[in-house]
């Protein structure tokens, strides 16, 4: 089974900060990776698919990169609405990373 | 835009079964796989399986095989997930989600809380 590992588990940041979350796959997965945002009490929301393609309607401050086994989600300038938990997902096996909670510093 | 509306919260006793529904609207139901994902309290997302609403084909995570069924009724654009032999470990929010081919899960239901307690 392919395992998806995110780091860090928790990230403390301030509004305006540049934030980077990493997702590593235990095997090469090409670019079959998606990123989701989840806020408390809400369903996840798709942000990025195929590692770097921004879902329609998602602000351009979000970006994704990577291929093979290492991927990153970057928020260029953190906004108050961005404090949430972020998950990566290997799209072929549908397995999720354990999540990264972005907290207010 | 697409919409998925799930059935309401359930409370079950250990050993019982639960069946959650997911009604699709504003898109062609048979054109997109429907997935089920669960989230235990304070925990991450766990993929359970999918159903192809067009032909009823299914695939399940190994952890749930033998204990989960996914069905659909195309006449009312609704998918169902049934989980049997419930234990307290099955207490979670259960989500349905639409797979947009190659784009991951682009629309999600609002979630259904299933509580298992004696």
Chain-chain contact of A46 with B106 (C-beta, under 8 angstroms): yes
Q: How far is CA B82 from the centre of its chain?
A: 8
The overall average pLDDT reported for chain B is 97
Chain-chain contact of A46 with B103 (C-beta, under 8 angstroms): yes
Give me the pLDDT at residue B101, please. 78
* Per-residue pLDDT tens over the stretch A1-58: 899 999 999 999 999 999 999 999 999 999 999 999 999 999 999 999 999 999 999 9
Give me the pLDDT at residue B103, please. 73
- B6–A contact, CB cutoff 8 A: no
Q: Is B86 exposed, middle or buried (0-12, 13-18, 19+ CB in 10 A)?
A: buried
Residues with pLDDT less than 50, chain B: none
Q: What secondary structure letter does DSSP report for B20?
A: E
Which residue in A12, A10, A16, A19 sits closest to A80, CA to CA? A16
Query: Residues of A with CB below 8 A from B60's CB?
Result: none
Q: Which two tokens stand for residue B69?
A: 């069924």
Query: Within chain B, what is the greatest distance between any pair of CA atoms?
Result: 42
Specify whether the backbone of A73 is left (phi greater than 0), alpha (psi in -120 to 50) or beta: beta
How many whole angstroms separate alpha carbon A68 and alpha carbon A81?
Answer: 30
Can you tell me which residue has the tokens 């305006």?
A: A16
Give me the pLDDT at residue B90, please. 98
CA neighbours closer than 13 Å in the CB half-sphere of residue A40: 5
């Amino acid at each position: 089974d392919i395992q998806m590992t995110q780091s860090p588990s928790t990230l403390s940041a301030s509004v305006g900060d540049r934030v980077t979350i990493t997702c590593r796959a235990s095997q090469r997965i090409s670019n079959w990776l998606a990123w989701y945002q989840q806020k408390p009490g809400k369903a996840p929301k798709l942000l990025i698919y195929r590692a770097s393609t921004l879902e329609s309607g998602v602000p351009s401050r979000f970006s994704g990169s990577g291929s093979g086994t290492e991927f990153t989600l970057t928020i260029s300038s953190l906004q108050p609405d961005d404090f949430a938990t972020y998950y990566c997902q290997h799209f072929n096996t549908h397995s999720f990373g354990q999540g990264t909670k972005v907290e207010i510093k | 835009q697409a919409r998925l509306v799930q059935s309401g919260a359930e409370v079950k006793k250990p050993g019982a079964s639960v069946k959650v529904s997911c009604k699709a609207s504003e898109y062609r139901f048979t054109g997109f796989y429907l997935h089920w994902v669960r989230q235990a309290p304070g925990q991450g997302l766990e993929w359970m399986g999918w159903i192809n609403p067009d032909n009823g084909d299914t695939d399940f995570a190994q952890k749930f095989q033998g204990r989960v069924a996914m069905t659909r009724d195309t006449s009312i654009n609704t998918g169902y997930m049934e989980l049997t032999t419930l234990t307290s470990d099955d207490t979670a929010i259960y989500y349905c989600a639409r797979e947009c081919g190659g784009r991951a899960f682009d629309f999600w239901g609002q979630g259904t809380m299933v509580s298992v307690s004696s």
